[in-house]
């Protein structure tokens, strides 16, 4: 166990080292550009540094999360020898470290900047009024989100490519060609596969939600000024976040189980932690808002709306992707007529599953807007409503500590299972880790629903922040955000197309990276004698290295796309076009991401449903057809779908940072 875990740890560390090197170059280049722009006067001089710290803290939270996860893998397997509850506690505790590191670092970075900027604008560069000071503070803090966003993109896309390339590569040659089981130490790509779970699902998800977290907080704070809610309104999101951390820690104590726990009761115990946290947050926020902002208790309803949105989207995700419900059961039935019908069925299920999340987010937008005193007739009333939408995003993300703990738990349990298998621990242990792992699939699916739902609300808050940022930069610039205004309309069109393009690029990257792994695994099996007999150890490190190199190389194109397009749209279509573009990306990206994540999750579980003995079980024709669905679903749910989350936030962030440039230069 120690040997295997060490290999995974080393592989993950090697991946991170190389990623940080590549990302370092990217950050250096962007930093230089931002510095040049700030010298030219298009940016505030704090922006380049805020950008750096955002990236640094995001990377740090990914790093710590992954260190913890890779340390907890074998410990979970070991603890599972003693019992199910012990295994659960170890895996979940490690996940909790990840969750609280993310929220802790987020709040730390926010606080440092807040106090520094407040000091600066009260002592060094004194502002004429308090509202002008808040304006300056928040608009500087916003740009710090761009650093977090860029880092998240690399973590999500790079990790997503890595994990799926290793997975597909290991399966295609190992399982299909050589006929050796999953997680078998004879497969040269098996360690890469395990490393992938950590870099994709732990570090990637952490950086993604870190970004949503700080993004929603700073954009909502920024909206407080134009909403006329002053410094108290600005403080609310941060206070809510702080409450959330404390309540989430409290919630983690309720995650425990009995030894004879079923799948269902395990899930219930994980859920219980989240629900208890959400409940306490709701109560605490009532008193806090009554104390700080008694004139606008609507803010409280926005918080509740956000909390409920997170829970409801989780439910619908589970309904569409878990094989305890009809949709996935029916999907596994389509395997009877071959792989083509499995594909059609999964795509159709994914498309169908977009209905409820859209309705839930739509209702949340309306409630949080109007509850906060939103009023489309006056500017201040309007901004109050937008502030309400932001608060809903913050409310949703206030449970992040425990939600992320539940989510990061999955890959740890998955890896523990792999280690138990490879180390040849007894069947009982393997059964326990299987129970923990299979639960991880469900929490991963709901975690993805949570991530995309919060990304959508955060992106809406960011769009609103973008518009108020432009207002502040160029008060006399006249906006026309009507959907019939051609630049807005064309922006909407382009925005609707970009998520598709981005998904295509990331899927292609997975395909290309997987190809290179396939060749490497084939080469090793052919050239190194004794691998299949288990007498010689395969060269795990070369597979890990290959995955690392391909994923780093192949994530460049999507990353550049996400950063360049909003700038180009701004230079051609102007601020109205950018607003349309951001709206188009957010709405279509949301729908597409939900579709891809849910289709992928359903294919995965439909396959598991067959493996559990239905429709002929493992090895049957139905199973083969379902495997095709699962393979298509892998990049859907673990690369492209989640990467779109980042896309919709990053494009907003880039637009905000480059707003000055767009205001100065634009064709229309």
- Contacts to a second copy from residues 344-383, by CB under 8 A: 344-345, 347-352, 354-355, 358-359, 361-362, 365-366, 369-370, 374, 376, 382
Stretch that binds a second copy, among 67-75, 193-201, 256-264, 501-509 (CB under 8 A): 501-509
Secondary structure class of 373 (helix, strand, coil): coil
Q: Nearer Cβ to a second copy, position 270 or 343?
A: 343
CB of 500 to a second copy, least distance (A): 4
Q: Which of residues 605-634 bind a second copy (CB under 8 A)?
A: 627-628, 631-632
What dihedral angle (degrees, nearest 10) is formed by the CA atoms of 348, 350, 355, 357?
180
The residue among 508 and 539 lying less far from a second copy, judged by its C-beta, is: 508
Please work out the total of residues on this chain that contact a second copy, with binding judged by CB under 8 A. Answer: 81
CB 558 within 8 A of CB 509: yes
User: What is the closest distance, in whole angstroms, from the C-beta atom of residue 516 to a second copy in the complex?
Assistant: 12
Q: Which of 47, 165, 507, 546 is in the footprint of a second copy by CB under 8 A?
A: 507
Whether the Cβ atoms of residue 102 and residue 65 lie closer than 8 Å to each other: yes
* Chain centroid to CA 491: 25
Should residue 497 be labelled a site residue for a second copy when binding is judged by CB under 8 A?
Answer: yes
Minimal distance, residue 571 CB to a second copy, in Å: 14
What tokens does 210 get?
A: 């870190």
Of the residues 419, 503, 544, 578, which one makes contact with a second copy according to CB under 8 A: 503
Minimal distance, residue 648 CB to a second copy, in Å = 12
Pick from 269, 274, 296, 334: which binds a second copy (CB under 8 A)?
334
Q: Are 289 and 297 in contact (CB under 8 A)?
A: yes
CA distances from 62 to 48, 94, 173 (A): 21, 13, 31
Of the residues 341, 431, 542, 620, which one makes contact with a second copy according to CB under 8 A: 341
d(CA 549, CA 148): 23
- Contacts of residue 36, Cβ cutoff 8 Å, sequence gap at least 6: none
Does the footprint of a second copy cover residue 480 (CB under 8 A)?
yes
Please identify, using beta-carbon distances, which residue of 108 and 483 lies nearer to a second copy.
Answer: 483
Taken as a whole, the chain contains a residue count of 668
Phi and psi, residue 537, nearest 5°: -85, 130
Quick check: 587 binds a second copy (CB under 8 A)? yes
Question: Could you tell me which of 371, 395, 398 has the C-alpha nearest to residue 306?
Answer: 395
Q: Other C-beta atoms within 10 Å of 38: how many?
A: 17
- Least separation, in Å, of the C-beta of 174 and a second copy? 14
Alpha-helical regions (H) of 83-229:
84-119, 130-153, 159-169, 190-196, 205-226
- Site residues for a second copy, 137-176, by CB under 8 A, read 172, 176
Which listed residue (6, 111, 265, 482) binds a second copy by CB under 8 A? 482
Closer residue to a second copy, CB minimum distance, 291 or 376? 376
Work out whether 588 is an interface residue with a second copy (CB under 8 A): yes
Would you say 361 or 412 has its CB closer to a second copy?
361
Among 31-39, 178-186, 269-277, 339-347, the segment contacting a second copy (CB under 8 A): 339-347
CA 126 from chain centre, in angstroms, equals: 39
Main-chain phi, psi angles of 182, to 5 degrees: -65, 155
The reply to whether 568 sits near a second copy by the rule CB under 8 A is no
Of 81, 131, 324, 515, the one binding a second copy by CB under 8 A: 515
Selected binder of a second copy within 229, 518, 546, 650 (CB under 8 A): 518
Q: Which stretch binds a second copy (CB under 8 A): 99-107, 390-398, 492-500, 520-528?
A: 492-500
Q: Return the number of the residue (137 or 593) whose C-beta is nearest a second copy.
A: 593
Residues 374-433 that bind a second copy (CB under 8 A): 374, 376, 382, 385-386, 389
Which of 120, 500 has the CB closer to a second copy? 500
270-309 residues in contact with a second copy (CB under 8 A) are: none
> By CB under 8 A, which span of 227-235, 275-283, 305-313, 458-466 interacts with a second copy?
458-466
CA distance 71 to 246: 25
Q: In this structure, what are the phi and psi dihedrals at residue 483, rounded to the nearest 5 degrees? A: -65, -15
Q: Is 493 in the site for a second copy (CB under 8 A)?
A: yes
- CB 540, min distance to a second copy, A: 23
Among 63, 121, 590, 615, binds a second copy (CB under 8 A): 590
Tokens (6 digits) for 618: 């493992």
Span 49-88, contacts to a second copy by CB under 8 A: none
DSSP 226-268: HTT-HHHHHHHHHHHHHHHHHHHHHHHTT----TT--HHHHHH
Residue 667: Cβ within 10 Å count: 10
Q: Which of 486, 549, 611, 612 binds a second copy (CB under 8 A)?
A: 486
Tell the burial category of 17 from Cβ atoms under 10 Å away from its Cβ (0-12, 13-18, 19+). Answer: exposed
Q: Are 497 and 585 in contact (CB under 8 A)?
A: no
Distance CA 664, CA 660 (A): 6
Let me know: does 449 contact 613? Beta carbons within 8 Å.
no
State which H helix or E strand residue 512 sits in.
helix 486-527
Of the pair 99, 487, the CB lying nearest a second copy is at 487
Measured from the CB atom, the residue of 2 and 176 that comes closer to a second copy is: 176
- Report whether 504 contacts 512 (CB < 8 A): no
């Amino acid at each position: 166990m120690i040997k295997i875990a060490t290999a995974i740890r080393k592989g993950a560390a090697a991946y991170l080292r190389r990623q940080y090197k590549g990302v370092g170059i990217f950050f250096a280049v962007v930093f230089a550009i931002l510095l040049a722009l700030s010298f030219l006067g298009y940016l505030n001089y704090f922006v380049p540094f805020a950008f750096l710290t955002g990236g640094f803290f995001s990377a740090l939270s990914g790093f710590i999360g992954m260190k913890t996860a890779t340390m907890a893998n074998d410990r979970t397997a070991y603890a599972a020898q003693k019992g199910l509850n012990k295994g659960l506690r170890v895996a979940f505790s490690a996940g909790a470290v990840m969750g609280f590191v993310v929220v802790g670092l987020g709040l730390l970075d926010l606080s440092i900047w807040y106090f520094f900027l407040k000091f600066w604008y009260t002592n060094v560069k004194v502002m004429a009024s308090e509202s002008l000071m808040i304006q300056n503070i928040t608009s500087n803090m916003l740009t710090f989100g761009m650093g977090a966003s860029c880092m998240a993109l690399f973590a999500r896309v790079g990790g997503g490519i890595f994990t799926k390339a290793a997975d597909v590569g290991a399966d295609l040659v190992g399982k299909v060609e050589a006929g050796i089981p999953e997680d078998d130490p004879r497969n040269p790509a098996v360690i890469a596969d395990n490393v992938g779970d950590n870099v994709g699902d732990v570090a990637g998800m952490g950086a993604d939600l870190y970004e949503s977290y700080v993004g929603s907080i700073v954009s909502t704070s920024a909206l407080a000024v134009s909403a006329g809610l002053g410094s108290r309104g600005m403080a609310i999101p941060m206070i809510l976040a702080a409450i959330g951390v404390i309540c989430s820690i409290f919630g983690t104590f309720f995650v425990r189980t009995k030894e004879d726990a079923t799948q269902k009761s395990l899930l219930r115990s994980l859920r219980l932690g989240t629900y208890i946290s959400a409940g306490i947050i709701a109560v605490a926020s009532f008193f806090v808002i009554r104390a700080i902002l008694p004139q606008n208790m609507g803010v409280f309803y926005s918080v509740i709306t956000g909390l409920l949105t997170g829970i409801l989207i989780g439910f619908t995700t589970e309904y569409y992707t878990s094989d305890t419900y009809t949709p996935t059961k029916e999907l596994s039935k389509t395997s009877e007529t071959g792989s083509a019908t499995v594909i059609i069925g999964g795509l159709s299920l994914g498309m169908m599953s977009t209905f409820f999340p859209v309705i839930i987010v739509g209702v949340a937008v309306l409630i949080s807007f109007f509850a906060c005193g939103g009023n489309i007739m006056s500017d201040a009333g309007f901004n109050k409503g937008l502030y309400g939408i932001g608060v809903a995003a913050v409310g949703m993300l206030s449970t992040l500590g425990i939600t992320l703990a539940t989510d990061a738990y999955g890959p740890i349990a998955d890896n523990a299972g792999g280690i138990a298998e490879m180390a040849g621990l007894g069947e009982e242990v393997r059964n326990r880790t299987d129970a923990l792992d299979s639960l991880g699939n469900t929490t991963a699916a709901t975690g993805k629903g949570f991530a995309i739902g919060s990304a959508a609300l955060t992106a809406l808050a960011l769009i609103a922040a973008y518009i108020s940022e432009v207002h502040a930069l160029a008060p006399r610039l006249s906006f026309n955000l009507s959907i019939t205004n051609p630049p807005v309309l064309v922006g909407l069109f382009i925005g609707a197309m970009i998520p598709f393009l981005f998904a295509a690029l990331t899927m292609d990257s997975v395909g290309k990276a997987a190809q290179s792994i396939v060749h490497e695994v084939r080469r090793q099996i052919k050239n190194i004698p004794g691998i299949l007999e288990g007498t010689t150890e395969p060269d795990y490190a070369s597979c890990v290295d290959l995955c690392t190199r391909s994923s780093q190389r192949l994530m460049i194109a999507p990353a550049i796309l996400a950063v360049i397009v909003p700038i180009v749209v701004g230079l051609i279509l102007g601020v109205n076009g950018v607003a349309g573009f951001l709206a188009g990306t957010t709405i279509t990206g949301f729908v597409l991401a939900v579709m891809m994540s849910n289709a992928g999750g359903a294919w995965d579980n439909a396959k598991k449903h067959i493996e559990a003995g239905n429709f002929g079980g493992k090895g049957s024709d139905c199973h083969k057809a379902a495997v095709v669905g699962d393979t298509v679903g892998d990049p859907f749910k673990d690369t492209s779908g989640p990467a779109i989350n980042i896309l919709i936030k990053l494009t907003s962030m880039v637009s905000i940072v480059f707003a000055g440039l767009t205001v100065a230069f634009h064709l229309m």
